[in-house]
Every structure is written in structure tokens, then in C-alpha cells.
Structure 1
Amino acid sequence: MIPVRCVTCGKVISPAWEEFKQRREAGEDPQEILDDLGLKRYCCRRMLLTHKEIVEDINPYQ
């Protein structure tokens, strides 16, 4: 689960997660995706770049 807001600056970043994930899986450059999504601050960019979905690992019986 992606955090709703950036922990550093407080900007809402969760709406950008699904599009970022889909476009990255399609093979696009992460830098271009983040630029298109309007995420200019490095703190917000790192929130999406370093996020890993672990919900399925923790609870495989959903």
C-alpha cells in the first residue's frame, strides 16, 4: 500500500501510483513518467521509485 502523502513534504502522491506502476511495467523510463505526473520534488519521486508492494507477501490468503 502506497502512502497517501509524501512523508517529507506532505504532497498527495497516492493517485499517481497506479499510472506510474502501469507505465513502468510497460517499459517506459521512470524519469519521464514522474515528469509527466508532475512530481518534481525528489522526496516525492523517491516515494514512488522505492515503493515495493508487500501486501501479497504478508497476507497471501486474501
Structure 2
Amino acid sequence: MIIPVRCFTCGKPLGHLYAVFKKRVLAGEHPGRVLDELGVVRYCCRRTLMAHVEWIDDLLVYERRG
């Protein structure tokens, strides 16, 4: 869906970190190491970034009914 702006559990701002995280992971870096270097130490924040799936482009293909 849409990139989470804040951690759902603790409220720490995460939106500004997602693009950097995604770019570095797609380049082949280990996700845990990237999160460590970005300063994301809480497990709730790490979960939020690592578990995020971008589906918005897939959903925009369908027309809205009703």
C-alpha cells in the first residue's frame, strides 16, 4: 500500500527512510545492516520497514465501481 509515514507501534517517523532503505536493499545490501546504519533500532520500526509491500501500482490498474 502506501509507505507508512510513522511506525504503527511507537510513532517514530519512518517515511523519509523508506526510499533509502529500498534502494540499498535492491542493490544487494543486507536489510538488517541497512537498518542499523539508518539508525532504526526498535524492532517495531524495523518490522514496519521490512514488511512493507508496495501494492499501490497494482491497485491503480483496476477501475472503481459504483
Fold-level similarity (TM above 0.5): yes
Residue 13 of structure 1 is matched in structure 2 by: 14
Calculate percent identity across the aligned residue pairs. 51
Give the greater-gyration-radius structure (CA).
2
Q: How many residues align?
A: 61
Residue 22 of structure 1 is matched in structure 2 by: 23
Check if 1:34 corresponds to 2:19: no
Taking structure 1 as the reference length, the TM-score comes to 0.94
Rounded to whole Å, the distance in 2 between the matches of 1:3 and 1:26 is: 22
Q: Which runs of 4+ in 1 moved over 6 A?
A: none
Larger RCO, structure (CA 8 Å, separation 6 or more): 2
Taking structure 2 as the reference length, the TM-score comes to 0.88
Q: Which runs of 5+ in 1 are unaligned?
A: none
Cα displacement (A) at 1:4: 0.6
Q: Which runs of 5+ in 2 are unaligned?
A: none
Give the letter for the 1:46 counterpart: R
